Structure 1
Amino acid sequence: MSRLIVVSNRVPVPDKRGTAPAGGLAVALQSALKTRGGLWLGWSGQSCAEDAVGPLRTVKDGNIEYALTDLTERDVEEYYQGFANRVLWPICHYRLDLAEYGRREMTGYFRVNRFFASRLLPLIQDDDLIWIHDYHLIPLAAELRRLGVKNRIGFFLHIPWPSPDVFLTMPVHDELLKGLTAYDVIGFQTDHDRNNFADCLARQDMGHRLDMTRFVVGERAFTTKSYPIGIETTEFAGLAKRAAETTLHKRMLQSLDGKELIIGVDRLDYSKGITQRIDAFETFLTRHEESQRKVTLLQITPKSRSEVPEYEAMQRAVAEQAGRVNGALGTVDWVPIRYVNRSLRRPALAGLYRMARLALVTPLRDGMNLVAKEYVAAQNEDDPGVLLLSRFAGAARELKDAVLVNPYDVEGTAEAIARSLVMPLEERRERWKSMMTVLCTNDVFAWCDTFLEDLAGGKAEESGSHSVEARSRNIA
């Protein structure tokens, strides 16, 4: 079996207890690499002066080798805080109003991708499969090809890919599209994202289709498919079940004093719909006064990218909004919203999911959203809670038995909360069983295996112009 090389912006090296930080991409790739072994390369999270970037630092943990590189302070400002998070992130989440394009930041983005390629090049062996992740590293395959790398290279986008009318507003859209054509397999979370990408290629008259999943641009043929990312379903379900016996779980139940728990867990980001969710919860309490003092919303929102002004402003806005609702509706012995502005360990989260009657997962736009899947996996099959899910989350394409809502419709979401809290047990069980079947079938290991099988499966194919033309003639 070929060795696997994973490349991502950040590398979540396990701590001394062998525990990596919680998070969608980190948890998924940690789980996948444990069974295969290999190399994981990326940014250490540390910045330094221009002349102080040292050699790669490597850490071995079981059968995974981590290779970490520092970036310069200018790199972090231009590549990470600048182009990646102030251009690509808002545009891919349909927030054109928040995109701030600058030529300096764009130059830094491509410069750092060249730097990653130079750091990875000496580590690549002839038979390695290379799997690159997310929007920070879109041009990396093109940079590796320029350095002569012939290996099979795959790319997986964890965030949405927007429609052409949105994506083509970016001044460097052509360079990014061409960069993606250097990959052998390009994976998206949903069929909608894949179709949007295909529409972008067609709009720019870039290459042509061979069939439903394969394209040709120049002399390269590549595959595009949707690979909805999963979680380690069985493990997480067991974690939640064990958490019910912990002291934290018992203290939380005691503090609720018989009130129903509603939970929301999101990184602090404008794409997550947190302010709209709090508005909907307030509307629900106002319209259904009989539910006041009977429910509590626990909103767990770890800080995110606080160095970016938009995120710092949002942190203040959400805290003020939660405080306003608590001041207007709360009583001496009841706080409507418990707002926690830090991350919790996965066992604690699993236990909280399990005791929650309702989960509010209502992003305005999301590639997948693994919180939705974790909540379902954590439930007690005899008395499961209800998942209320935004139809604009990638997870809605799989979890069709969730209560689907439009997060922009505050009043509609408020009524969905009311219906969900009184949903009969039998309906809750039926919905949960259907969703759990999906999660068990398409867990993180199936996601990884499916992608890597496609990436490895084409190793014998030639990508030269002669073979591409021959396949085109056969299809025609």
Structure 2
Amino acid sequence: MSRLVVVSNRIATPDDRKCSAGGLAVGILGALKSSGGLWFGWSGETGDEEAPLQQETSGNITWASFHLSEQHYEQYYCQFSNAVLWPAFHYRLDLVKFQREAWQGYLEVNGILAEKLRPLVEPDDTLWVHDYHLLPFASELRQRGVDNRIGFFLHIPFPTPEIFNALPPHTELLQRMCDYDLLGFQTEGDRLAFLESVASQTRLTHVGSHQHSAWGRSFRTAVYPIGIEPDEIAEQAAEPLPPRLVELKQELGNIRNIFSVERLDYSKGLPERFQAFEALLENYPQHRGNIRYTQIAPTSRGDVQAYQDIRHQLETEAGRINGKYGQLGWTPLYYLNQHFERRLLMKVFRHADVGLVTPLRDGMNLVAKEYVAAQDPENPGVLVLSEFAGAAQELTSALIVNPYDRDDVASAMHRALTMPLAERLARHGEMLEVVKSNDINHWQRSFVRDLKAVIPRSQLRIRRPDAITAMAGVKR
């Protein structure tokens, strides 16, 4: 039985509680446990790149990690992955800071990783590579003679050609991505945006709707919306609240709760969200004194100026709104720039009347799905969701809004706060069914199944004409 080799920028080792808390780690571990295999990636630390790999084995899974030099960490991770690809893929070209040296460092690190992984790859292994840090990784492996099946999943959005082609190395990035056998995306829009970008640079041919050829390379594209563990979240959410939160709930009495938790990032639309809440208080004065909006936004990439700016903006906006609308004994907006344990957040979700998830652009946004799974099925809250989150393609029974339209979001919050129980039950039931059917295990099983159905390139050299037709028949 062939092994699965997972490659990601960071790995979650068995004793790394912080990394393993999220759903992605659960999905990857589930896939690895099924067939046994290797999880390969950066340790998250800087040090000697020439040092031997750090390896740890538990059961049928091995973890292998390495350090990056300080220079490569800056170029590959900070300056290119997070200062070029992240803003561009989230439609913020104004924040892109392209440096030729960073691009070269990005390629060098992908080459170094391929060199480190190659001796560990066995002939029958299937490789599954994750996210924007590793767009050229398959290309580097192919150059080193690796003909195994290699799949790639992009967790963030893929921008339209007008955005993507503004990046100076766009053609080379696209060409290198075509060295993957299977490219997976969160939504159909992301998949089509990638194909349109390729077609804008070279001749793109299709065998069916999902098998393609460009630059002499044959590859497949498909959509795999990532999910969560709904049953586990429901169990966590139903656990008793900690004593301090019980007291707080009693103090609030009949005050309705609007709750939101996001990483502090400009893609999440937090300033726009604050302004929409202000519009709610302005346009619907009956809610003044009767609601409270809590925004949790722990700092991420705090050394980057754009993130420092948004933190300062949120602190200013929160103070201004509370100063304008607050009353003795009532503070309308609570902004908490700190991290909370995920299990605790699931309990808080359950007691939130409105879940506010309004990013300006998001690949999926699992918070939306977690909020749905955490609700009391007999008295659920209402999800207000951005149309620009990938989750909006699945959770169509949420109140879908344009996050750039503050009055639209305010109107949706008002509707959520006043929605009858019967409608809340119907909407929640429809969304929960989707969340349960497309959970994290369905996501990983679907991708790995389709990837293993691909004919390895070593066989394609022998029977190329028939093989392309056979790959086109892989079912989704």
Aligning the two structures, in what range does the TM-score lie when normalised by the shorter sequence?
A: over 0.9
Structure 2 residue 324 is the aligned partner of structure 1 residue 328: yes
Instruction: Select which of 261, 264, 267 maps to 1:268.
Output: 264
Which stretch shows the higher mean deviation, 231-240 or 262-271? Answer: 231-240
SS at match of 2:327: coil
Task: Tell me what 1:95 maps to.
Answer: 92
Structure 2 residue 407 is the aligned partner of structure 1 residue 408: no
Task: Tell me what 2:11 maps to.
Answer: 11
Task: Tell me what 1:40 maps to.
Answer: 39
SS at match of 2:378: coil
Structure 1 unaligned runs (5+)? none
Which stretch shows the higher mean deviation, 232-241 or 386-395? Answer: 232-241
SS at match of 1:323: helix
Distance in 2 between the 1:34 and 1:385 partners?
36
- CA displacement at 1:66 relative to structure 2: 1.9
Distance in 2 between the 1:260 and 1:311 partners?
30
Task: Tell me what 1:442 maps to.
Answer: 438
Matches within 5 A, 1:6-405: 6-15=6-15, 20-23=19-22, 25-48=24-47, 53-242=50-239, 244-247=240-243, 249-405=245-401
Contact 1:219-1:463 at 8 Å conserved across structures: no
User: Which residue type is aligned with residue 118 of structure 1?
Assistant: E
User: Which residue type is aligned with residue 197 of structure 1?
Assistant: F
Distance in 2 between the 1:428 and 1:194 partners?
33
Contact 2:126-2:452 at 8 Å conserved across structures: yes
Q: Compared with structure 1, are the counterparts of its residues 444 and 172 closer, same or farther at alpha carbon in structure 2 (3 Å cutoff)? A: same
Distance in 1 between the 2:92 and 2:40 partners?
30
Distance in 1 between the 2:153 and 2:44 partners?
21
Contact 2:257-2:353 at 8 Å conserved across structures: yes
Spell out, residue by residue over 1:258-283, the C-alpha distance to the aligned partner (whole angstroms, 9 max, x if none).
Answer: 31111111111100000000100011
Distance in 2 between the 1:52 and 1:447 partners?
34
User: Which residue type is aligned with residue 68 of structure 1?
Assistant: S
Structure 2 unaligned runs (5+)? none
Distance in 1 between the 2:269 and 2:32 partners?
32
User: Which residue type is aligned with residue 6 of structure 1?
Assistant: V
Distance in 2 between the 1:165 and 1:454 partners?
30
Aligned length: 471
- CA displacement at 1:82 relative to structure 2: 0.5
- CA displacement at 1:10 relative to structure 2: 1.2
Q: Compared with structure 1, are the counterparts of its residues 14 and 329 closer, same or farther at alpha carbon in structure 2 (3 Å cutoff)? A: farther
Contact 1:91-1:167 at 8 Å conserved across structures: yes
Contact 2:460-2:467 at 8 Å conserved across structures: no
- CA displacement at 1:13 relative to structure 2: 2.6
Distance in 2 between the 1:380 and 1:431 partners?
13
TM-score normalized by the length of structure 2: 0.94
- CA displacement at 1:33 relative to structure 2: 3.8
SS at match of 1:144: helix
SS at match of 1:331: coil
Contact 1:43-1:69 at 8 Å conserved across structures: yes
What is the percentage of aligned positions where both structures have the same residue?
Answer: 45
- CA displacement at 1:285 relative to structure 2: 1.1
- CA displacement at 1:252 relative to structure 2: 4.0
Q: Compared with structure 1, are the counterparts of its residues 77 and 469 closer, same or farther at alpha carbon in structure 2 (3 Å cutoff)? A: same
- CA displacement at 1:207 relative to structure 2: 3.5
Distance in 2 between the 1:38 and 1:470 partners?
27
Q: Compared with structure 1, are the counterparts of its residues 255 and 69 closer, same or farther at alpha carbon in structure 2 (3 Å cutoff)? A: farther
Contact 1:31-1:232 at 8 Å conserved across structures: no
Q: CA RMSD in A?
A: 2.1
Distance in 2 between the 1:62 and 1:391 partners?
42
Contact 1:322-1:339 at 8 Å conserved across structures: yes
Q: Compared with structure 1, are the counterparts of its residues 432 and 333 closer, same or farther at alpha carbon in structure 2 (3 Å cutoff)? A: same
SS at match of 1:439: helix
Contact 1:53-1:71 at 8 Å conserved across structures: no
